[in-house]
Amino acid sequence: MLQYPVKLTTEGASVLVDFPDFPEAHTFGETRKEALTRASDALLTVIDAYMKDRQRLPQPSKGKVMVGVPVLAVPKIELYNAMREKRITKAELGRRLGWHMPQVDRVLDVHHASRMDRLQQALQAVDRRLEVTVVEA
């Protein structure tokens, strides 16, 4: 699971959330639980913004309180990182897969619920393999 650290600060009646790895991302909640729920949404939003701006995504640092990236977004992030590493454009990915640009955009959109077979195809096109592991909770 991909997780990023958050810093929680109580200020008045609110719990503020900051992301050490994403300094521009902030959110809050009335309770710790609400703040962490909003933090998950904020994390996905900032990752999406980095990807759309073609910025390098930071590796997660260590922290006491961690917020997880939704499971379906992880292979999309790994696809994006592999494309950056290999200098593969979205147009080139589309050519390799025989896909139109909207299909490529969807497979990279962390908010879109892509099918697993589509994610597998895209990852294979950049020499990556999708593996799923289930562990005891």
93 CB-contact burial (10 Å; exposed 0-12 / middle 13-18 / buried 19+): buried
pTM, 2 dp:
0.89
Helices 116-125 and 90-97: crossing angle, nearest 10°? 110
Query: For the segment 48-67, what is each residue's pLDDT rounded down to a tens digit?
Result: 999 999 999 999 999 999 99
Residues of the chain with CATH 1.10.260: 73-125
Q: Which fold would CATH assign to domain 3-68?
A: Double Stranded RNA Binding Domain (3.30.160)
Residues of the chain with CATH 3.30.160.250: 3-68
Yes or no: is domain 73-125 CATH 1.10.260?
Answer: yes
Query: For the segment 82-137, what is each residue's pLDDT rounded down to a tens digit?
Result: 999 999 999 999 999 999 999 999 999 999 999 999 999 999 999 999 998 898 98
